[in-house]
Amino acid sequence: MTVYLIGAGPGDPGLLTRRGAELLCEADVVLFDRLVHHSLLALVPETAELVDVGKQSGAAAGPRRQEEINALLIAHGHRGGTVVRLKGGDPYVFGRGGEEGEALARAGVPFEVVPGVSSAFGVPAAAGIAVTRRGVSSAVTVVTGRVGSEGSVDWDAVARTGGTIVVLMGMESRSDITDALVHGGLSPDTPAAVIERGTTPSQRVARTTLGGLAEVTLGSPAVIVIGAVAALGATAEPLHVVGPLDGCRVVVTRGGARAGAVLDALSRAGATALHMPLTTQAGPSDGGAALAAAAATVHSYGWVVFTSANAVAAFMSHVRDARALAGVNVAAVGPSTAAALRGTGVEADLVPDVHSAAGLVASFPPPPESGGPRRLLFPSADIALHTLGEGLSDLGWEVERVEAYRTVALQAPDPALSARAAAADAVLFAAPSAVDAYRALRGGDGAALAVPPLVVCSGSATAQHARRAGLTGVVEAAGPSPEALVSALAARWGRPSPTGS
């Protein structure tokens, strides 16, 4: 048993270390902070337990809350397995990681620290500001933005030190910080910069002076840089590129590893993604006996048809290797499913131009009149629609549908997460089951949770199901790929959403 205190970096999920990513992929339990990018949680196995221990400002962030987190880490550590504590930035730079490590040590729980890129240095660098520079600044002081309280910074000493001052968590007290540093001897004309949501597509930078800090209207999280270097590097500073989804808050209901690609695509487009998985995949209700029997006789079928990567994984786990499919034709509903097949050494014989059940039926050949098997194997989810099976039967195929996996609803999300989802601008649904799971959620008043005004659905079947469920603002993506989902949302973002569309 080991607890890993992992730094997630300053915001961009690509700045997570390789060691951190490897451990997330092996985790049994993950306790994560509020500022951790949700796409990192998509690396976690579906069987792992996710625990949101994010602390808001105010009383909830006090010593008592930290003691509760310490107790959770110790309890999970004693149970065994791989326990990950995922923290923004570096766990030992204003991350309370030192306290958590000491608590684990006192309790006899082994732990390891996996450093991360600290926002104190990574965020200014991403904004083109070098916190040290020859002939300008040979020292850096990193401080928290606490002023006038017990244990706060000795601002007079900081002002006398010289060099660069980097302030974390200082936006709420920036006016007091200015007064304290000026009292300590710094000129109000000292250059300063504020970087909001650094290293992310939402990064914004305001160049000002120490005296002008109070007038900066950027929000948190932000890093404040004070000193001569804050006036340099403007020509190297990356401009904020407005993405097609800039400012759009999107709920992603898909779970598992595939959610990561969607979250990344939304982030690159400028959206703020909220990961709220509602369903997960479980083994077949019969333990896989029927699927194993079908796989053992796969050579007797003319075709095997796959409509999801999950079905590919479930079926291929019952065959020795790709040679079992020698002489059998294989169809995939779209590129993602075809890629999953290719990963097992099987190249799909048919991928329709229209990536849907209807598109697959329209592209499918009729069965042979003689001299070949007319049987067709369709490994599918337990709740898969009958569109494909019925369409292929109408062509004359003898369709044998076998349950490859089940889709089950997850436990209802935390009320605070649900409230954020209800206030979002859009929600993404990859399957009808996700629509049903969302509609089953309830708000704090017991009423059905509000649905965001834009409802982006992967495929016509999901879109039709959403409309039948009474949802409005429905947008049908051309396919299940992250690019298709982002494109469909971008085409409607910022425009009025006609009722019942």
The 3-state secondary structure of 82-96 reads EEEEEECECCCCCCC
Omega before 221 cis (within 30°)? yes
d(CA 482, CA 263): 8
Same structural domain, 100 and 134: no
Q: Are 421 and 251 in contact (CB under 8 A)?
A: yes
- 497 is a domain residue: no
Instruction: Band the pLDDT of 150: cuts 50, 70, 90.
Output: low
Q: Which of 357, 375, 408 is the last residue of a domain?
A: 408
- 366 is a domain residue: yes
The 3-state secondary structure of 392-422 reads HHHCCCEEEEEEEEEEEECCCCCHHHHHHHH
Q: How many CB atoms lie within 10 A of CB 321?
A: 10
Evaluate if residue 211 carries a pLDDT over 70: yes
Share of the chain above pLDDT 90, in %: 56
- 241 is a domain residue: no
Write the CATH number for 37. Answer: 3.40.1010.10
- Burial readout 337-371 (b: 16 or more C-beta within 10 A, e: otherwise): bbebbeeeebebebbbebbbbebbbeebeebeeee
* Span 219-247, average pLDDT: 77
Evaluate if residue 185 carries a pLDDT over 80: yes
- Active site residue: 12, 90, 169, 171, which one? 169
DSSP string, 107-151: TT--EEEE----HHHHHHHHTT--S-BTTTBS-EEEEE---SSTT
d(CA 464, CA 432): 9
- Active site residue: 12, 33, 90, 425, which one? 33
pLDDT tens readout for residues 35-45: 788 778 878 88
- 242 is a domain residue: no
Same structural domain, 200 and 263: no
Same structural domain, 189 and 330: no
Domain of 151 in residue numbering reads as: 121-236
The pTM score is 0.63
Closest among 352, 401, 397, 349 to 380, alpha carbons compared: 401
d(CA 174, CA 477): 45
pLDDT tens readout for residues 113-143: 999 999 999 999 999 999 999 999 999 999 9
What's the N-to-C CA distance of the chain in angstroms? 52
Q: Which of 359, 378, 408 is the last residue of a domain?
A: 408
Same structural domain, 404 and 286: yes
- 178 is a domain residue: yes
Give the pLDDT confidence score for residue 498 in this predicted structure.
Answer: 45
Evaluate if residue 349 carries a pLDDT over 80: yes
d(CA 81, CA 486): 37
- 225 is a domain residue: yes
- Active site residue: 1, 28, 52, 55, which one? 55
Q: Is 55 exposed, middle or buried (0-12, 13-18, 19+ CB in 10 A)?
A: middle
Q: Which of 408, 441, 468 is the last residue of a domain?
A: 408
Instruction: Band the pLDDT of 239: cuts 50, 70, 90.
Output: very low
Tally the domains of the chain. Answer: 4
Instruction: Band the pLDDT of 66: cuts 50, 70, 90.
Output: confident
Q: What is the DSSP letter of 431?
A: S
- 97 is a domain residue: yes
Give the pLDDT confidence score for residue 149 in this predicted structure.
Answer: 67
Instruction: Band the pLDDT of 309: cuts 50, 70, 90.
Output: confident
Q: Is 460 exposed, middle or buried (0-12, 13-18, 19+ CB in 10 A)?
A: middle
- 499 is a domain residue: no
33 part of the active site? yes
Give the pLDDT confidence score for residue 458 in this predicted structure.
Answer: 87
pLDDT tens readout for residues 316-337: 999 988 899 999 999 998 888 8
Crossing angle of the two packed helices 258-268 and 482-492, in degrees rounded to 10: 40
Instruction: Band the pLDDT of 234: cuts 50, 70, 90.
Output: low
pLDDT tens readout for residues 401-427: 999 998 888 888 878 788 889 999 999
Can you read off the two tokens belonging to residue 114? 């996996």
Sheet with 82-87: list strands edge to edge: 49-52, 29-32, 82-87, 2-7, 111-114
pLDDT tens readout for residues 244-277: 888 899 999 987 666 777 888 888 888 888 888 8
Same structural domain, 416 and 267: yes
Lowest mean pLDDT among 171-175, 192-196, 198-202: 198-202
pLDDT tens readout for residues 20-32: 999 999 999 999 9
Same structural domain, 323 and 335: yes
pLDDT tens readout for residues 94-107: 888 999 999 999 99
d(CA 156, CA 203): 31
Task: Give the list of residues 6+ apart from residue 64 with CB closer than 8 angstroms, or none.
Answer: none
Share of the chain above pLDDT 70, in %: 93
55 part of the active site? yes
Evaluate if residue 48 carries a pLDDT over 90: no
Same structural domain, 190 and 306: no
The pLDDT mean for the chain works out to: 87
Closest among 52, 116, 60 to 90, alpha carbons compared: 116
Spell out the alpha helix ranges (H) of 197-288.
258-268
Write the CATH number for 349. Answer: 3.40.50.10090
Same structural domain, 414 and 302: no
Same structural domain, 198 and 216: yes
Instruction: Band the pLDDT of 110: cuts 50, 70, 90.
Output: very high
Phi/psi at 438 (5° precision): -70, -45
Evaluate if residue 443 carries a pLDDT over 60: yes
Same structural domain, 229 and 157: yes
169 part of the active site? yes
Evaluate if residue 496 carries a pLDDT over 60: no
Same structural domain, 289 and 396: yes
pLDDT tens readout for residues 378-388: 999 887 767 78
- Burial readout 95-114 (b: 16 or more C-beta within 10 A, e: otherwise): bbbeebbebbeebebebebb
Same structural domain, 463 and 480: yes
DSSP string, 215-240: G----SSEEEEESGGGGS-GGGSPP-
